[in-house]
Structure 1
């Protein structure tokens, strides 16, 4: 993994372990279009070389958030067509993430809201700090989670707990 990413840090820790850090701490690691592109490229690269990596640990830069969800400032400036293209990009990225043959451990170090919660739910295992918080906050605005959160959350924690 020798590729540079604009919004990610990838560290090879040896013996097949990669540390993947969402690297936009100034905006609580909010996902913008570039982060979607970077995550898609990262998972496409891992998926194209099965057996090269043994484990990925995914975390967020800083101590404020794992990922606060979508970058709302970017979204406000988008046309409907641009937003639709971004949504398709994120769908492709989530499919590449879920299809990853390498176990992904989410090291959740703060807020995992909206799309950030959905990213966490894609991980095979979660390790949450005492400050970790999970929420599909978009539902309070009448917006459906776009990456399967309404299905993945009950599968991960059970239906009753998900309703909390």
Structure 2
């Protein structure tokens, strides 16, 4: 079992940290990417916040509903983050007042052929899974409505910040369907099986404070302070060793999917990957010299 776990971890490292082919080309292409109507935008912050990438949704006409274009734009943004070592935290937010993401674009969905609906849901589920395994910490800034697929995308992030009046819920059973982009799996892992069943069975919608109380979100703040809080948290992540962050994330994500013994083997194998890094040596040297370390992700 230990050998299998180590082999899996080696594959994770190769894919998430050291694949450099075409990385700069992808990043340069996406850095200024936005639709003609500025419906989606990807940007990297500068100055003291350099290293933070932000994906903004701004399609008020559909309340940022999940469409084919949404999936393509988010995929492009994640590719930019995945292949650029200078980017260390990824924030997903909305620029539409009162809305994070209202769920699936039902108008677009109604025009799809029956066989295309399954393909679309599979694409969305795969994208949520990729977001969950993105090699950097991810933060969802939920300032407003996050329902159905919109909440499922937020659940795939590592941290969630919500505004007091935000509305969060997996409401698919109202439409005689079930959450299809990871909600039935991520929600129980966050709030426990019994509470997750209650929320999905009843299609209940929670506000920010209720969400924080059950552990659905990490923080609840004033509605106009959600993004600021996300940036504040991201800025405290930036100084940490980027390779260590990736390994810690992998250890937790994958370790909680198996028994404790196997999880500890994942941790051991991933810990072994940080030992030969230049960052680890820099951390030790900085501690010795009583200065802040400068990590390069090497």
Alignment RMSD (CA, Å): 1.6
Distance in 2, matches of 1:74 and 1:122, equals: 23
Normalising by structure 1, we get a TM-score of: 0.91
2:98, 2:166 within 8 Å by CA — same for their partners in 1?
A: no
Pair 1:101 & 2:130 matched = no
Distance in 2, matches of 1:86 and 1:37, equals: 12
Pair 1:4 & 2:62 matched = no
Q: Which runs of 5+ in 2 are unaligned?
A: 1-26, 200-298
Normalising by structure 2, we get a TM-score of: 0.52
Distance in 2, matches of 1:40 and 1:80, equals: 24
Write the mapping of 1:28-43 to structure 2, written as runs, cut at 5 A: 28-43=63-78
Write the mapping of 1:77-88 to structure 2, written as runs, cut at 5 A: 77-88=111-122
Q: How big is each residue's C-alpha offset from its partner over 1:53-91, in whole Å with a ceiling of 9 and x where there is no partner?
A: 111121112212100000000011111232233223213
Distance in 2, matches of 1:125 and 1:95, equals: 15
Q: Secondary structure of the equivalent of 1:82?
A: helix
Write the mapping of 1:67-86 to structure 2, written as runs, cut at 5 A: 67-86=101-120
2:42, 2:56 within 8 Å by CA — same for their partners in 1?
A: yes
Aligned-pair distance for 1:157?
Answer: 1.8
Aligned to 2:288: none
Q: Point out the structure with the larger strand share.
A: 1
2:57, 2:96 within 8 Å by CA — same for their partners in 1?
A: no
Q: 1:56 to 1:82 in 2, by over 3 A?
A: same
Aligned-pair distance for 1:52?
Answer: 2.0
Q: 1:19 to 1:80 in 2, by over 3 A?
A: same
1:25, 1:60 within 8 Å by CA — same for their partners in 2?
A: no
Residue of structure 2 aligned with 1:13, choices 7, 29, 45: 45
Aligned-pair distance for 1:128?
Answer: 0.4
> Bigger shift: 74-83 or 4-13?
4-13
Distance in 1, matches of 2:41 and 2:122, equals: 24
Q: Which has the higher contact order (CA 8 A, sep 6+)?
A: 1
Write the mapping of 1:9-158 to structure 2, written as runs, cut at 5 A: 9-14=41-46, 15-49=50-84, 51-158=85-192
Q: Point out the structure with the larger helix share.
A: 2
Aligned-pair distance for 1:153?
Answer: 0.8
Distance in 1, matches of 2:77 and 2:91, equals: 13
Q: How big is each residue's C-alpha offset from its partner over 1:106-132, in whole Å with a ceiling of 9 and x where there is no partner?
A: 110011000001011011001100121
